[in-house]
């Protein structure tokens, strides 16, 4: 099936009228009819039922068109990325991280690296891409060290030890302290859980056991921030989650616990530019905290 046929099918699924679909695509109605029929013969089932007034989707066609839309968008994105790349770059380094804030100095690193190597593209990808990295779909992965402890064939490059902070509303009394201690928390409500790493779960349990504090489970970081904004409580989180939007106060928590974070590359990847980009990020973080306070 050609990309043109995909476009014809999606347009007809939208209009359910051969003449209108053909007009929208600036082709003749016989061409539209022929291409739809050819596509149906190739895949082995009818996408449309022809009616006197136009067309309607068959049950199989409705399911097929739903999947085809996603494929078409992914194909468009891939073509656009390819066009951009071919016009300007000769190498691409793909770096994956869960949140834009995870590597605070990433924009600065990309800018400075691009000045030295204008032919190399750095492509960030946001979300939880551990499996994509293991499938060789990403070149560099940011991750907490405990997540990658038993993963084979990767090279670890230490980046920073993320400290822990109390997240509160900006007008909360905790926001005006240089450092929050457990003595500041009695009477408060603490959000816990939400996929917290083991070291943070242990810290949460220690606080709950040592002082009188209400708590409840929050499923993820975004929900937790929403609950903070809704005056439902506070939470403790690693600094790399700080989105630097100014909507919340991030106050250092008095603990020696830290969360080691690193960049990971593939053991067999010996590309010079990958190594240099990793080293440039390490240099930016050397002797710095996980983010500027």
pLDDT in tens, 113-146: 999 999 999 999 999 888 999 999 999 999 999 9
Angstrom distance (rounded) from CA 243 to CA 238: 11
Residue 241 and residue 34: Cα distance in Å, rounded? 54
CATH domain 3-86 topology: Arc Repressor Mutant, subunit A (1.10.10)
Give dist(CA 102, CA 131) in Å, integer.
Answer: 18
d(Cα 30, Cα 111) in Å, to the nearest integer? 52
Q: What is the pLDDT of residue 291?
A: 66
Separation of alpha carbons 47 and 180, rounded Å: 63
Given CATH 1.10.3720.10, say whether it is the number of domain 164-252.
no
Which residue positions in the chain have pLDDT lower than 70? 53, 87, 289, 291-293
* Residue 80 pLDDT: 81
User: What's domain 91-161+261-285's architecture?
Assistant: 3-Layer(aba) Sandwich (3.40)
The CA distance from 59 to 48, in Å, is 9
For the chain, the domains span 3-86, 91-161+261-285, 164-252
Q: Do domains 3-86 and 91-161+261-285 have the same CATH topology?
A: no
pTM score of the predicted model: 0.75
């Amino acid at each position: 099936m050609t990309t043109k046929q995909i476009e014809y099918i999606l347009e007809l699924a939208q209009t359910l009228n051969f003449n209108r679909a053909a007009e929208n695509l600036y082709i003749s109605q016989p061409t539209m009819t022929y291409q739809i029929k050819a596509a149906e013969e190739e895949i082995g089932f009818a996408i449309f039922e022809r009616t006197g007034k136009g067309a309607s989707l068959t049950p199989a066609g409705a399911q097929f068109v739903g999947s085809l839309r996603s494929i078409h968008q992914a194909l468009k994105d891939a073509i656009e990325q390819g066009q951009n790349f071919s016009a300007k770059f000769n190498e691409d380094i793909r770096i994956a991280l869960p949140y834009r804030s995870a590597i605070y100095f990433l924009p600065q690193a990309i800018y400075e690296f691009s000045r030295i190597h204008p032919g190399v593209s750095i492509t960030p990808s946001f979300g939880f891409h551990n499996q994509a990295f293991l499938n060789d779909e990403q070149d560099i992965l940011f991750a907490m060290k405990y997540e990658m402890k038993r993963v084979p064939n990767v090279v670890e490059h230490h980046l920073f030890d993320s400290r822990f902070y109390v997240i509160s509303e900006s007008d909360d009394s905790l926001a005006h302290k240089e450092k929050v201690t457990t003595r500041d928390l009695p009477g408060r409500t603490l959000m816990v859980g939400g996929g917290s790493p083991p070291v943070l779960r242990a810290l949460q349990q220690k606080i709950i056991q040592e002082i009188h504090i209400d708590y409840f489970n929050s499923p993820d970081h975004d929900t937790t921030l929403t609950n903070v904004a809704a005056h439902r409580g506070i939470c403790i989180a690693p600094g790399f989650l700080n989105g630097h939007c100014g909507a919340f106060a991030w106050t250092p928590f008095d603990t020696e616990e830290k969360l080691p974070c690193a960049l990971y590359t593939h053991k067999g990847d010996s590309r010079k530019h990958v190594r240099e980009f990793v080293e440039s990020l390490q240099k930016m973080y050397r002797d710095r905290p996980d983010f500027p306070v």
